[in-house]
Structure 1
Amino acid sequence: MGMIGGGPGAFIGPVHRFAAELDREIELVAGVFSSDPDRSRAAAGQYRIDPERAYPDLPTMFAAEKARADGIDFVSIVTPNHNHLPSARAALAAGLPVMTDKPLTATLAEAQELAGLVATAGLPLGVTFTYTGYPLVREMKARIAAGAIGPLRKVVVEYPQGWLSQPAEGKQAEWRVDPARAGAGGCIGDIGVHAFNLSEFVTGQKVTRLLADLAAVVPGRALDDDCSILLRFANGARGVLLASQIEVGELNGLRIRCYGEFGGISWKQEEPNSFTQHHADGRTEIVRAADASLGPWAAGRTRTPGGHPEGYLEAFANIYRDFAAVLRGEDAPLLPGIAEGLRGMTFIDTAVRASAANAGWVDLAD
């Protein structure tokens, strides 16, 4: 694996590295870790790779790695959003598959361009919608698809954080509130798109309409930091999506609740090793990680016996494990790819425009 971004001081670069290497199917061996050649080379020590394979720019990396018998097989893009399309475009042109952080790009137009490039290149592209990698999230998806709660009626998905409740300070905060680097969406692009993706992934239903109220609550902020969105799903089910980065005291509180005619299912990311399933006869079932009742989607991505918690890094690693399977020519139907990435950008663009225009209910295109 070659990494683009993730230089000194980055948060998500090391996370990608840990996740990719967890199952020993992938190894980080090269990268352009920063636009500053000195910082890129300094990152070699951080990642414990050969300093000669920490490159100053993408053309140099692609040329040098192509000349090696042990050159990189794909790239992972972990930069701010505005660099996703240029990096992916260059990698695909070099004949390399791509794993990219979410959201897919900075704008919908860029996402549409990238979708065309992927189709032309005929190469895999994965998107790290991390929470779809949790085994119990996959089990919920399987149970809902099998009719465990009956026809879907209501979905509530929440993603509260509080770390941007004050003016942004520091590298990780500053680029996320900068339209030039983050793109059209702030909170909605950073975490709201995770909540949206999770709602469609778990339910198996697409959102067809939405009513969006996005706000920049912190004075002077150019991008939204608080989002309230009503959803309508393809089967007629109603939904609510709440995402905020100004809720003081909240950490990473992603939660989803799905209710059908015969029952309900709920899960919290901060307590990821169990979910609750309610039945119409009044029974409440607690389903735990590594439970004997789990189906193949969950059991096949669980690494430890029951009572040994698995969390964020293991879920992230499941995305990379699926990607490795695809690179070997195997099937990985739950891997988020270009379709999910483009879908997320369509959601962001639609919600931002609808909220700005106070447009009320609007259609969400396929």
Structure 2
Amino acid sequence: MVEKIRMGMIGGGRNAFIGAVHRIAANIDGLIELSCGALSSNPETAKASGRDLFLPEDRAYGSYQEMIEAERNLPAEKRMHFVSIVTPNFAHFEPAMLALENGFHVVIDKPMTLTLEEAKKLEAKAKETGLMVCLTHTYSGYPMVKQARQMVKEGKFGKIRKVCVEYPQGWLCQPSENEGNQQAAWRTDPSKSGISGCMGDIGTHAAQLAEYISSLEITQLCADLNRVVDGRQLDDDGNVLLKFNNGANGILMASQIAAGEENALTIKVYGETGGLEWHQEEPNTLIVKWHDAPSQIYRTGNGYLSSFASHNSRTPAGHPEGYLEAFANIYRNFALTLNARLTGETPTAEMLDFPDVSDGVRGMAFIENVVASGQSDQKWFDFKI
């Protein structure tokens, strides 16, 4: 790498929830530097947030429109290479589209947009421009998730027959949106979150993980969505039956009213001869189960792991890596791929292993299909994109 990759950030300023996580993740490997930002929709807060992060005064912008225009006009050796969008769902599409139209790659939080129609437009623009769009589906960045995916792809378990994924949280078990919790307020507001609450927020993570590890695609679903807390406008709980493109079936549960749970994302995948089990709250362990042999424990950092798991590990065996490192793997692989483009090299398969715009489209399709299914008496819905 001949130079650091320069990042601009939209959102993520003072009192923001996820912006600092993105900055830490981008900085872990020393490949990316924050060069500029439009860190709030409030110009004064945006400027103040820029000072908090020691950005030059002339590169702490009052709006994303100002930032993209100004950065476009800077010399190539100074302007940002990509923009990271860390705003609520309703403020994803317009800055992402403007960035692509002006020649900048995009990293964006999930879900990618507010609607499937917007997601398709972003996908078309990315294809038209040849620019990259990276989606921060964090959980696919864990080394043992990548190990699980490689074992499935290598046929270790034969044909996959069943996928069970669940993501219970408890932080919305009370009407926190009415008690001053800003994160709860926008996530339960249809104008800011979209047509789904729980399924849009964490159900998309579960669906992406199911498809990522199994290397399959959801083709049909049957959903039951619930609004458990009185007065809530969007779903806060749901169960979805799944069918995949190889004939496998599955179950997806996502809930934000599971009192006492934190981020208990768990996935189990079963094939003809064995299966696997992974827990996000114990991420360095992968349990591998066999029909005719004892179960095995795979651990991060060991030499028996695949190149994809090893590529995304930083510490020796027995030294825990977690959420921030998984998040950083998304940024690292994106940065390495971008650097390969800039230097005329060919990125490796390991570098290219990050969620992209097509994952964003499938995520929005999942939301819209799940909501349509949940509102209908029809048992099975075809997964339409």
Q: Answer yes or no: same fold by TM over 0.5.
A: yes
2: CA distance, partners of 1:255 / 1:49:
39
Q: Does the Cα contact within 8 Å between 1:193 and 1:347 map onto a contact in 2?
A: yes
Q: Does the Cα contact within 8 Å between 1:124 and 1:326 map onto a contact in 2?
A: no
Aligned counterpart, 1:33: 39
Matched, 1:343 2:362: yes
* 1:21-65: CA deviation from partner (whole Å, max 9, x where unpaired): 111111112111111111101112332322332111123212322
Greater CA drift, 123-132 or 37-46: 37-46
2: CA distance, partners of 1:45 / 1:161:
35
Amino acid at match of 1:16: H
Greater CA drift, 285-294 or 166-175: 166-175
Give secondary structure in 2 for the equivalent of 1:59: helix
Matched, 1:103 2:111: yes
2: CA distance, partners of 1:359 / 1:30:
50
Aligned counterpart, 1:12: 18
2: CA distance, partners of 1:2 / 1:359:
45
The one of 148, 163, 170 equivalent to 1:155 is 163
Greater CA drift, 184-193 or 60-69: 60-69
Amino acid at match of 1:221: R
Once the two structures are TM-superposed, the CA of residue 151 in structure 1 deviates from its matched residue by: 1.2
Aligned counterpart, 2:276: 265
Amino acid at match of 2:61: Y
Aligned counterpart, 1:131: 139
Once the two structures are TM-superposed, the CA of residue 131 in structure 1 deviates from its matched residue by: 0.6
Once the two structures are TM-superposed, the CA of residue 263 in structure 1 deviates from its matched residue by: 0.7
Q: Does the Cα contact within 8 Å between 1:82 and 1:106 map onto a contact in 2?
A: yes
Give secondary structure in 2 for the equivalent of 1:154: strand
Q: Does the Cα contact within 8 Å between 2:337 and 2:352 map onto a contact in 1?
A: no
Give secondary structure in 1 for the equivalent of 2:289: strand
Aligned counterpart, 1:180: 191
Matched, 1:363 2:382: yes
* 1:1-34: CA deviation from partner (whole Å, max 9, x where unpaired): 0001112111111110000111111111211111
What are structure 2's unaligned runs of at least 5 residues? 1-6, 342-346
Matched, 1:315 2:334: no
Greater CA drift, 65-74 or 299-308: 65-74
**Identity among equivalent pairs (%):** 47
2: CA distance, partners of 1:240 / 1:252:
18
Alignment of 1:28-107 (within 5 A): 28-69=34-75, 70-107=78-115
Aligned counterpart, 1:220: 231
Aligned counterpart, 2:148: 140
Give secondary structure in 1 for the equivalent of 2:319: coil
CA RMSD of aligned residues (A): 1.2
Q: Does the Cα contact within 8 Å between 1:10 and 1:172 map onto a contact in 2?
A: no
Q: Does the Cα contact within 8 Å between 1:23 and 1:321 map onto a contact in 2?
A: yes
* 1:121-172: CA deviation from partner (whole Å, max 9, x where unpaired): 2211100011111011000000011111121111110000000111124111
2: CA distance, partners of 1:192 / 1:48:
37
Q: Does the Cα contact within 8 Å between 1:2 and 1:72 map onto a contact in 2?
A: yes
Once the two structures are TM-superposed, the CA of residue 285 in structure 1 deviates from its matched residue by: 0.3
The one of 196, 219, 222 equivalent to 1:208 is 219
1: CA distance, partners of 2:277 / 2:189:
34
Q: How high is the TM-score relative to the length of structure 1?
A: 0.98
Q: Does the Cα contact within 8 Å between 2:334 and 2:352 map onto a contact in 1?
A: no
